[in-house]
Amino acid sequence: MEAGRRVHVVYLAVVVALLAAAGALYFAYQKQGEEVERLVAMQRTLSADRDALMSDTQAQREKVTTLEAENRALAAEREALKGGAQALQQKNAELAARAEKLSQGLSETERKASAAARARAELSRELKAATQTLDEAKARSAELNKSYESLLKDKSQLAAAGAERQAELARTKKAFEEVQSQIARLTGARGIYTVQHADSLSSIAAFFYRDGNRWPDILKANAHLIAHPDLIYPEQVLIVPH
Protein backbone atom coordinates (compact mmCIF):
# COMPACT_ATOMS: atom_id res chain seq x y z
CA MET A 1 0.00 0.00 0.00
CA GLU A 2 2.80 2.28 0.92
CA ALA A 3 4.54 1.37 -2.31
CA GLY A 4 1.51 2.21 -4.35
CA ARG A 5 1.27 5.59 -2.68
CA ARG A 6 4.86 6.29 -3.50
CA VAL A 7 4.33 5.33 -7.11
CA HIS A 8 1.31 7.58 -7.21
CA VAL A 9 3.32 10.45 -5.73
CA VAL A 10 6.13 9.87 -8.19
CA TYR A 11 3.63 9.71 -10.98
CA LEU A 12 2.09 12.91 -9.86
CA ALA A 13 5.51 14.49 -9.60
CA VAL A 14 6.36 13.34 -13.08
CA VAL A 15 3.03 14.63 -14.38
CA VAL A 16 3.58 17.95 -12.64
CA ALA A 17 7.11 18.08 -14.02
CA LEU A 18 5.84 17.25 -17.46
CA LEU A 19 3.12 19.84 -17.20
CA ALA A 20 5.62 22.40 -16.00
CA ALA A 21 7.97 21.46 -18.82
CA ALA A 22 5.08 21.63 -21.29
CA GLY A 23 4.07 25.05 -19.95
CA ALA A 24 7.62 26.21 -20.15
CA LEU A 25 7.89 24.90 -23.69
CA TYR A 26 4.57 26.54 -24.58
CA PHE A 27 5.63 29.85 -23.19
CA ALA A 28 9.02 29.47 -24.88
CA TYR A 29 7.34 28.60 -28.20
CA GLN A 30 4.94 31.51 -27.87
CA LYS A 31 7.82 33.85 -27.15
CA GLN A 32 9.74 32.38 -30.07
CA GLY A 33 6.72 33.01 -32.33
CA GLU A 34 6.55 36.60 -31.19
CA GLU A 35 10.26 36.96 -31.87
CA VAL A 36 9.81 35.43 -35.30
CA GLU A 37 6.96 37.80 -36.04
CA ARG A 38 9.10 40.69 -34.80
CA LEU A 39 11.97 39.57 -37.01
CA VAL A 40 9.63 39.13 -39.98
CA ALA A 41 8.26 42.62 -39.39
CA MET A 42 11.80 43.94 -39.15
CA GLN A 43 12.67 42.13 -42.36
CA ARG A 44 9.69 43.71 -44.14
CA THR A 45 10.70 47.12 -42.81
CA LEU A 46 14.28 46.58 -43.92
CA SER A 47 13.07 45.38 -47.33
CA ALA A 48 10.92 48.49 -47.67
CA ASP A 49 13.85 50.67 -46.58
CA ARG A 50 16.12 48.85 -49.05
CA ASP A 51 13.60 49.33 -51.87
CA ALA A 52 13.27 53.00 -50.95
CA LEU A 53 17.05 53.40 -50.89
CA MET A 54 17.38 51.61 -54.24
CA SER A 55 14.66 53.82 -55.72
CA ASP A 56 16.33 56.91 -54.30
CA THR A 57 19.71 55.71 -55.58
CA GLN A 58 18.24 55.20 -59.05
CA ALA A 59 16.70 58.66 -58.92
CA GLN A 60 20.03 60.11 -57.85
CA ARG A 61 21.79 58.27 -60.68
CA GLU A 62 19.27 59.60 -63.16
CA LYS A 63 19.71 63.09 -61.73
CA VAL A 64 23.49 62.74 -62.01
CA THR A 65 23.10 61.57 -65.62
CA THR A 66 20.84 64.53 -66.36
CA LEU A 67 23.28 66.93 -64.71
CA GLU A 68 26.18 65.45 -66.66
CA ALA A 69 24.21 65.84 -69.92
CA GLU A 70 23.36 69.44 -68.99
CA ASN A 71 26.99 70.07 -68.13
CA ARG A 72 28.09 68.73 -71.52
CA ALA A 73 25.44 70.87 -73.22
CA LEU A 74 26.61 73.91 -71.29
CA ALA A 75 30.22 73.15 -72.21
CA ALA A 76 29.25 72.84 -75.89
CA GLU A 77 27.26 76.07 -75.64
CA ARG A 78 30.20 77.78 -73.94
CA GLU A 79 32.50 76.64 -76.76
CA ALA A 80 29.95 77.82 -79.33
CA LEU A 81 29.67 81.18 -77.58
CA LYS A 82 33.44 81.39 -77.43
CA GLY A 83 33.63 80.71 -81.16
CA GLY A 84 30.82 83.19 -81.76
CA ALA A 85 32.61 85.81 -79.67
CA GLN A 86 35.77 85.31 -81.70
CA ALA A 87 33.74 85.56 -84.92
CA LEU A 88 32.10 88.74 -83.62
CA GLN A 89 35.47 90.19 -82.71
CA GLN A 90 36.76 89.42 -86.19
CA LYS A 91 33.58 90.87 -87.72
CA ASN A 92 33.93 93.98 -85.58
CA ALA A 93 37.52 94.34 -86.71
CA GLU A 94 36.46 93.99 -90.34
CA LEU A 95 33.66 96.52 -89.85
CA ALA A 96 36.05 98.92 -88.16
CA ALA A 97 38.46 98.57 -91.08
CA ARG A 98 35.63 99.15 -93.55
CA ALA A 99 34.42 102.14 -91.54
CA GLU A 100 37.94 103.59 -91.59
CA LYS A 101 38.17 103.00 -95.32
CA LEU A 102 34.73 104.55 -95.85
CA SER A 103 35.75 107.49 -93.69
CA GLN A 104 38.85 107.99 -95.80
CA GLY A 105 36.76 107.59 -98.94
CA LEU A 106 34.23 110.07 -97.57
CA SER A 107 36.97 112.57 -96.87
CA GLU A 108 38.27 112.11 -100.40
CA THR A 109 34.73 112.39 -101.77
CA GLU A 110 34.13 115.54 -99.76
CA ARG A 111 37.42 116.95 -101.06
CA LYS A 112 36.41 116.11 -104.63
CA ALA A 113 32.91 117.46 -104.05
CA SER A 114 34.40 120.69 -102.73
CA ALA A 115 36.70 120.88 -105.74
CA ALA A 116 33.75 120.11 -108.02
CA ALA A 117 31.69 122.83 -106.32
CA ARG A 118 34.49 125.31 -106.85
CA ALA A 119 34.80 124.16 -110.46
CA ARG A 120 31.03 124.51 -110.93
CA ALA A 121 31.13 127.98 -109.44
CA GLU A 122 34.01 128.89 -111.72
CA LEU A 123 32.18 127.41 -114.71
CA SER A 124 29.06 129.27 -113.68
CA ARG A 125 31.01 132.51 -113.59
CA GLU A 126 32.62 131.68 -116.91
CA LEU A 127 29.24 130.71 -118.37
CA LYS A 128 27.72 133.93 -117.09
CA ALA A 129 30.59 135.89 -118.55
CA ALA A 130 30.37 133.92 -121.81
CA THR A 131 26.61 134.46 -121.95
CA GLN A 132 27.10 138.15 -121.39
CA THR A 133 29.83 138.19 -124.03
CA LEU A 134 27.58 136.24 -126.39
CA ASP A 135 24.69 138.63 -125.83
CA GLU A 136 26.97 141.58 -126.39
CA ALA A 137 28.42 139.94 -129.49
CA LYS A 138 24.94 139.22 -130.88
CA ALA A 139 23.89 142.81 -130.24
CA ARG A 140 27.09 144.07 -131.89
CA SER A 141 26.56 141.64 -134.77
CA ALA A 142 23.00 142.89 -135.28
CA GLU A 143 24.25 146.48 -135.42
CA LEU A 144 27.02 145.58 -137.85
CA ASN A 145 24.57 143.58 -139.94
CA LYS A 146 22.36 146.64 -140.35
CA SER A 147 25.32 148.86 -141.06
CA TYR A 148 26.81 146.41 -143.53
CA GLU A 149 23.49 145.88 -145.29
CA SER A 150 23.00 149.65 -145.50
CA LEU A 151 26.50 150.13 -146.88
CA LEU A 152 25.98 147.37 -149.45
CA LYS A 153 22.79 149.03 -150.65
CA ASP A 154 24.80 152.19 -151.29
CA LYS A 155 27.65 150.24 -152.94
CA SER A 156 27.14 151.89 -156.34
CA GLN A 157 27.41 155.28 -154.71
CA LEU A 158 30.44 154.17 -152.65
CA ALA A 159 32.42 153.50 -155.80
CA ALA A 160 32.05 157.15 -156.78
CA ALA A 161 32.52 158.35 -153.20
CA GLY A 162 36.10 157.30 -153.04
CA ALA A 163 38.47 155.16 -151.06
CA GLU A 164 37.26 156.37 -147.67
CA ARG A 165 33.79 154.87 -148.05
CA GLN A 166 35.26 151.71 -149.54
CA ALA A 167 37.51 151.41 -146.49
CA GLU A 168 34.49 151.88 -144.21
CA LEU A 169 32.73 149.04 -146.01
CA ALA A 170 35.79 146.79 -145.63
CA ARG A 171 36.15 147.66 -141.93
CA THR A 172 32.47 146.96 -141.32
CA LYS A 173 32.65 143.63 -143.16
CA LYS A 174 35.75 142.56 -141.24
CA ALA A 175 34.19 143.53 -137.90
CA PHE A 176 30.99 141.70 -138.88
CA GLU A 177 32.94 138.54 -139.75
CA GLU A 178 34.94 138.74 -136.53
CA VAL A 179 31.92 139.11 -134.29
CA GLN A 180 30.05 136.31 -136.12
CA SER A 181 33.12 134.09 -135.76
CA GLN A 182 33.22 134.91 -132.03
CA ILE A 183 29.57 133.92 -131.68
CA ALA A 184 30.26 130.71 -133.61
CA ARG A 185 33.08 129.82 -131.19
CA LEU A 186 30.97 130.64 -128.13
CA THR A 187 28.07 128.50 -129.37
CA GLY A 188 30.23 125.63 -130.68
CA ALA A 189 29.07 126.17 -134.26
CA ARG A 190 30.77 124.79 -137.37
CA GLY A 191 31.84 128.24 -138.57
CA ILE A 192 30.61 131.14 -140.69
CA TYR A 193 29.45 131.45 -144.31
CA THR A 194 29.16 134.46 -146.59
CA VAL A 195 25.87 134.47 -148.48
CA GLN A 196 26.18 134.38 -152.28
CA HIS A 197 23.77 135.59 -154.93
CA ALA A 198 20.75 133.27 -155.36
CA ASP A 199 21.45 131.60 -151.97
CA SER A 200 18.64 130.65 -149.60
CA LEU A 201 18.65 129.04 -146.19
CA SER A 202 17.53 125.78 -147.85
CA SER A 203 20.37 125.84 -150.39
CA ILE A 204 22.91 126.64 -147.66
CA ALA A 205 21.55 123.75 -145.54
CA ALA A 206 21.72 121.44 -148.56
CA PHE A 207 25.35 122.48 -149.16
CA PHE A 208 26.54 121.93 -145.59
CA TYR A 209 24.26 119.11 -144.39
CA ARG A 210 23.14 117.48 -147.65
CA ASP A 211 19.66 118.15 -146.32
CA GLY A 212 17.80 121.33 -147.29
CA ASN A 213 15.17 120.67 -144.63
CA ARG A 214 17.66 121.65 -141.95
CA TRP A 215 17.39 125.36 -142.83
CA PRO A 216 15.58 126.08 -139.49
CA ASP A 217 18.86 125.21 -137.72
CA ILE A 218 20.63 128.00 -139.60
CA LEU A 219 17.73 130.37 -138.95
CA LYS A 220 17.87 129.63 -135.21
CA ALA A 221 21.65 130.14 -135.06
CA ASN A 222 21.25 133.56 -136.70
CA ALA A 223 18.03 134.64 -134.98
CA HIS A 224 19.80 137.82 -133.84
CA LEU A 225 20.14 138.78 -137.54
CA ILE A 226 17.28 137.15 -139.41
CA ALA A 227 13.65 137.97 -138.64
CA HIS A 228 12.33 135.95 -141.60
CA PRO A 229 13.96 133.05 -143.54
CA ASP A 230 13.61 134.94 -146.82
CA LEU A 231 15.26 138.11 -145.50
CA ILE A 232 18.91 137.26 -146.19
CA TYR A 233 21.13 139.20 -148.59
CA PRO A 234 24.32 138.57 -150.57
CA GLU A 235 27.58 139.18 -148.63
CA GLN A 236 25.74 138.67 -145.36
CA VAL A 237 27.82 136.62 -142.88
CA LEU A 238 25.87 133.75 -141.31
CA ILE A 239 26.73 131.27 -138.55
CA VAL A 240 26.58 127.60 -139.62
CA PRO A 241 25.79 125.33 -136.63
CA HIS A 242 26.74 121.67 -136.37
Domain definitions of the chain by residue range:
136-240
Higher-confidence position of 157 and 235: 235
Span 112-138, pLDDT tens digits: 867 756 865 674 576 577 678 888 989
- CA nearest 133: which of 189, 171, 184? 184
**Percentage of residues in the chain with pLDDT exceeding 90?**
32
3-state helix, strand, coil in the chain (%, to 5): 85, 5, 15
At 65, phi and psi to the nearest 5? Answer: -60, -45
pLDDT band at 94 (very low <50, low <70, confident <90, very high): confident
At 236, phi and psi to the nearest 5? Answer: -70, 145
Q: Are 217 and 205 in contact, with CB atoms under 8 Å apart?
A: yes
pLDDT band at 198 (very low <50, low <70, confident <90, very high): very high
**Percentage of residues in the chain with pLDDT exceeding 70?**
87
pLDDT band at 64 (very low <50, low <70, confident <90, very high): low
Higher-confidence position of 31 and 180: 180
What value does the mean pLDDT take over residues 150-173? 77
pLDDT at 112: 84
What's the Cα-to-Cα distance from 23 to each of 9, 34, 90, rounded to whole Å? 20, 16, 98
For the domain made up of 136-240, give the CATH fold: Membrane-bound Lytic Murein Transglycosylase D; Chain A (3.10.350)
Q: What is the mean pLDDT of the chain?
A: 83
What angle, 0 to 180 degrees and rounded to 10, lies between the N-to-C axes of helices 2-153 and 163-187? 170
Whether the pLDDT of residue 215 is over 60: the answer is: yes
The CB density around residue 148, as the number of other CB atoms within 10 Å, is 21
Whether the pLDDT of residue 1 is over 80: the answer is: no
Q: Which residues of 160-197 are buried (b: 16+ CB within 10 A; e: fewer)?
A: eeeeebeeebeebbebbbbbbbbbbeeeebeebbebee
pLDDT at 156: 57
Burial class (CB in 10 A: 0-12, 13-18, 19+), 102: exposed
Q: State how far the Cα of 87 lies from the Cα of 215, in Å rounded to an integer.
A: 72
pLDDT band at 194 (very low <50, low <70, confident <90, very high): very high
pLDDT band at 161 (very low <50, low <70, confident <90, very high): low
